[in-house]
Amino acid sequence: MEFDAELLRQIGVSMGAAGIFLAALLAIGAAENGADGLSADGALAMVGALVGFVLLMAILGAYLSRK
């Protein structure tokens, strides 16, 4: 099975965005984790990171489909 350059670019961009999302989740978890677990601000930040990831993937998908 051979991959063309366009498919490899799409895979790379998608993996990069997923890596950024994972790093954001880890950073939020490390910064907002207290003795009782995740704080309310941390939970809101997690939701914000998830919404940001969905929007980022939608924008990247639209951009890559037009290229």
Total tally of structural domains belonging to the chain = 1
Between CA 44 and CA 67 the distance in angstroms is 35
pLDDT at 57: 95
Asked if the structure places residue 18 within a domain, the reply is: yes
pLDDT in tens, 10-54: 999 999 999 999 999 999 999 988 778 888 899 999 999 999 999
Of 9, 5, 7, which is closest to residue 17 (Cα–Cα)? 9
- Residue 13's alpha-carbon distances to 8, 45, 46, in angstroms, are 9, 24, 22
CB atoms within 10 A of CB 28: 19
Asked if the structure places residue 7 within a domain, the reply is: no
Q: Are 53 and 32 in contact (CB under 8 A)?
A: no
Asked if the structure places residue 17 within a domain, the reply is: yes
Asked if the structure places residue 2 within a domain, the reply is: no
Residue ranges making up the domain that contains 20: 12-66
Asked if the structure places residue 58 within a domain, the reply is: yes
Q: What is the pTM of this model?
A: 0.82
